[in-house]
Amino acid sequence: MAPQSWLPIPAKSPFSLANIPFGIITTPEAPEDPHPAVAIGDHALDLYVFDKNDGFSTLGCIQPHRSVFAQPTLNAFAALPSQIRHYVRTYLQSIFTHTLGSKATLKDNLELQKAALFPLKDVKTHMPMQIGDYTDFYAGSNHAENVSVMFNNSMPPNYTHLPVGYHGRASSVVVSGTPIRRPWGQYLSDPAAEPKVPTFAPCRLFDYELEMGAFVCRENKFGEPIPIADGQAESHIFGVVLMNDWSARDIQGWEMLPLGPFNSKNLGTTISPWIVTIEALEPFLTEGLRNYSQVQRYLDQGKEKNVYDIRLEVDITPKESGKTKTVSNSNAKHLLWSFPQMMAHHTITGCPMRVGDLIGSGTISGDRPGSEGCLLEQSKGGKVAVKLENGEERKFLEDGDTVTFRGVAGDEDGALVGFGECVGTVQPALKF
Amino acid sequence: MAPQSWLPIPAKSPFSLANIPFGIITTPEAPEDPHPAVAIGDHALDLYVFDKNDGFSTLGCIQPHRSVFAQPTLNAFAALPSQIRHYVRTYLQSIFTHTLGSKATLKDNLELQKAALFPLKDVKTHMPMQIGDYTDFYAGSNHAENVSVMFNNSMPPNYTHLPVGYHGRASSVVVSGTPIRRPWGQYLSDPAAEPKVPTFAPCRLFDYELEMGAFVCRENKFGEPIPIADGQAESHIFGVVLMNDWSARDIQGWEMLPLGPFNSKNLGTTISPWIVTIEALEPFLTEGLRNYSQVQRYLDQGKEKNVYDIRLEVDITPKESGKTKTVSNSNAKHLLWSFPQMMAHHTITGCPMRVGDLIGSGTISGDRPGSEGCLLEQSKGGKVAVKLENGEERKFLEDGDTVTFRGVAGDEDGALVGFGECVGTVQPALKF
Ligand SMILES: [Ca+2]
Ligand SMILES: [Ca+2]
Ligand SMILES: [Mg+2]
Ligand SMILES: [Mg+2]
Ligand code: NI
């Protein structure tokens, strides 16, 4: 049975004692002052306030590093040695536990509870990390196969030999809740017509992409690859978030040859606010999709269980009806390549990773109808409408649509390790 | 005739009084402490020391902003209103001029000269800006045409309608002089062979790309494009540098379908250390390559002269012989799209620019032999060797090769506006 907390934690909460995800919040007490925090049940613990009130005074190893809790991002915390992060997390678990070995620090200090513990509904979440560079991979092979079939292409011959990816736009990554404006751009109204003369207009084929993102916590030197052996690549990963790589399919189709997706992706990418540590996710490691190619040694992780069993859901809520429909159920395990493999590939040239860099998995689709990770797939390229509630349907997103991703690992009540929500609402295009 | 300085400035110096480029240096006096500086003739003026010694005391507008000279990058200086940057630059010109209106601040203060003015050969240059995001365009249409022909492709149909570009890797941008290690990677030893099974080995087709880079000095809000009209897009550009987008051609060939170049580019990109302001470059605005397509209104800059007449040279110096050969003479005007057009396109989706972002032009080739911007073109895909001195030749770069770019605008002695050098030496690949 999962350990119990003196703080009431709903049985179905994604933020059980087994989780302890990290984020950045502002509170009613300090609305202008972002602080590191952890989520627990329906609450957030403000780590800056907790620390200022000697909450960590009995945790020796953090003493020289307490300034990490006075930062407006988690970069400094993430950059700590993993042992110290481990001790902080288990210490935080212990102060919420009412069994043997629990610390009375917070439980018996009502004043500190009042100062540092806030209902989640009263806090505002912010970007958890300052992102240096953002890379998006394409490791969901069900997605890649569906898309290839749709455009009458065969799978790229490199696909099973390396994690295909492209550099993304770090400045356009935003936290859950940020409105996403339908972009303007160039595209072919009729891709088959000749000559190819583009239209300039608001995107018509606006889509989401269901992905996971991993945050980097350790640098490598310029010119020095990160080896995959012995968990080294894994040790560069702080934790994981849900990610919506909003995509303008018409703009993408026109722009992406020859140098890849560009404006179709830099209009915004949304991440969930709470970073779930890879320590919390470790019990949910599982096997990914089978790769029948022999992988090169720099990509050979030497273990089968290298992706996470995280149930993923996609909801669409149209503005007018307000009726939410879960349109897809997928799982984060539907990947051909793991985050450590992506990291090893990304740096094999000596490309430097920095603390705060974000790596996206690529769209994660299951292998059956109702598990697609984007509307392009689910509507079969805009041919088949996806049913919503109230008789509504969608081929692509409409203005006012709210897209919500959820992800949770585990199935024991009181011990779920989840991400909360990754949410964005489509705003109408600007008028020009 | 160009204005004269009391400081001896060699007639052929790229850093004439007409230039005043900005950079970041460390000096023998403060080897650990990077300071903003300007280059003038054979000297650098340390702006931190100059300011600390009341060098700017008679320039009223900078008084509230003097902290910009105490930063280890130019981001804060670049973010100042352009009027203030203009006054700083003209003030610095005036203190070096010995005509009417000159300021005696530095000329008659030998102690200040000793403290703040250093021979360029005694200073170390550093990354001038902290780069948030880096984007590389493909606006050199001679290059694009040469490459398309080489691979039996027609030009991409979007090429004349939008500035094709891709997101690059900001963390891998380094300052001139940084050694560049030959990367490992996957590629097809024989691209025609079936089945396509890649080799994992050090890059064999290692190349440079001759480009210009532009630094961003003004943000736009998330979701709000930067308009091109009335010089608005231009006002977001601080200045320009030379850029070497080192490229692993074999890795590129294998990886780039379907999502574009990735590891073939993130091994390192070198920039010249001195940012030449767009104010200094203004007299050299000229017409670029003719675009016969009607451009969309968001890309219509409304002026013909929108690229710079900057003579560009590429040298290769093999390690053993040490004999330098200038292998290419090009010009920065050989572009189909201007930096303001790239900026307008990049943000038409609402993609946010931040101060310090870097935009690359794409490889700049002329239209005749000996003006190619990379070895891939000049060696016709590795078929024709490029002659160096001493009987040596190259199809692609070898270990120990030093590649040097130079760029200069103007032809009046004493009034040249140049970039100095953008240099990198190829290091042997790591052993695995
Ligand atoms: Ca994606
Ligand atoms: Ca390039
Ligand atoms: Mg995106
Ligand atoms: Mg590069
Ligand atoms: Ni604070």
Q: Is the pLDDT of residue B33 over 70?
A: yes
Q: Which of A4-18, A349-363, A376-390, B103-117 bottoms out in mean pLDDT, i.e. has the lowest?
A: B103-117
Give the pLDDT confidence of B265-311 residue by residue, as tens digits. Answer: 999 999 999 999 999 999 999 999 999 999 999 999 999 999 999 99
Whole-number pLDDT of residue B151:
84
ipTM of the complex: 0.96
- Checking phi first, is residue A302 left (phi over 0); if not, alpha (psi -120 to 50) or beta? left
Place of tokens 């006096």: B29
Check if B6 contacts A (Cβ < 8 Å).
Answer: no
Cα B172 from Cα A222, distance rounded (Å): 7
Cα B160 from Cα B164, distance rounded (Å): 9
B185/A349 CB distance under 8 A: yes
Structure tokens at A335: 């990947």
Per CB-CB distance under 8 Å, the chain A contacts of B261 are 259-260
**DSSP reduced 3-state for B264:** coil
Q: Is the pLDDT of residue B98 over 80?
A: no
Check if B157 contacts A (Cβ < 8 Å).
Answer: yes
Burial class (CB in 10 A: 0-12, 13-18, 19+), B397: buried
Whole-number pLDDT of residue A432:
85
B184/A298 CB distance under 8 A: yes
User: CA angle B76-B344-B207, nearest 5°?
Assistant: 80
Question: In which band, very low, low, confident or very high, does the pLDDT at B60 lie, cut at 50, 70 and 90?
Answer: very high
Contacts for B111 with CB less than 8 Å, ≥ 6 apart: none
Q: Is the pLDDT of residue A57 over 60?
A: yes
Cα B258 from Cα B127, distance rounded (Å): 33
Give the pLDDT confidence of A121-132 residue by residue, as tens digits. Answer: 999 999 999 999
Share of chain B above pLDDT 90, in %: 94
Average pLDDT, chain A: 96
Question: In which band, very low, low, confident or very high, does the pLDDT at A108 lie, cut at 50, 70 and 90?
Answer: confident
Residue type, A135: T
Per CB-CB distance under 8 Å, the chain B contacts of A245 are none
Pairing relationship of beta strands A117-119 and A43-46 according to DSSP bridges: antiparallel
Q: Is the pLDDT of residue A254 over 80?
A: yes
CB < 8 Å from B in window 305-364 of A: 345-346, 348-354, 357
**DSSP reduced 3-state for A151:** coil
Find the A144 Cα to ligand 2 centroid distance in Å: 27
Stated pTM of the model: 0.97
CB < 8 Å from A in window 117-156 of B: 132-133, 135, 138, 153, 156
Residue A343 CA from chain centroid, whole number: 16
Cα A248 from Cα A257, distance rounded (Å): 15
Residues constituting chain B: 432
Share of chain B above pLDDT 70, in %: 98
Whole-number pLDDT of residue B103:
60
Give the pLDDT confidence of B187-201 residue by residue, as tens digits. Answer: 999 999 999 999 999
Structure tokens at A126: 């912010």
Q: Is the pLDDT of residue A2 over 80?
A: no
Structure tokens at A100: 């043997």
- Going from the N-terminus, what domains does chain A have, and what CATH number goes with each? 22-126 (2.30.30.230), 134-427 (3.90.850.10)
Q: Is A143 labeled as catalytic in the residue annotation?
A: yes
Find the A136 Cα to ligand 3 centroid distance in Å: 8
Q: How far is B204 from chain A (nearest CA, A)?
A: 13
| Mean pLDDT within B256-260 | 94
The answer to whether the beta carbons of residues B171 and A353 sit under 8 Å apart is yes
Cα B309 from Cα A187, distance rounded (Å): 33
The more confident residue out of A99 and A107 is A107
Share of chain A above pLDDT 70, in %: 98
Give the pLDDT confidence of A6-36 residue by residue, as tens digits. Answer: 999 999 999 999 999 999 999 999 999 999 9
Which of A36, A47, A40 lies closest to A75 in space, CA to CA?
A: A36
**DSSP reduced 3-state for B11:** coil
Whole-number pLDDT of residue A227:
98
Question: In which band, very low, low, confident or very high, does the pLDDT at B207 lie, cut at 50, 70 and 90?
Answer: very high
Nearest residue in A to B264, CA atom: A349
Residues A35, A143, A236, A334: which is the catalytic one? A143
Q: How far is A219 from chain B (nearest CA, A)?
A: 11
Cα A126 from Cα B381, distance rounded (Å): 49
Per CB-CB distance under 8 Å, the chain A contacts of B257 are 156, 158
Return the C-alpha torsion angle A42, A44, A45, A46, nearest 10: -160
Find which of A130, A152, A250, A259 to mutate to test the B interface (most B CBs within 10 Å of its CB): A259
- For A349, the closest of B164, B198, B263 (CB atoms) is B263
Cα B363 from Cα B142, distance rounded (Å): 9
Question: In which band, very low, low, confident or very high, does the pLDDT at B150 lie, cut at 50, 70 and 90?
Answer: confident
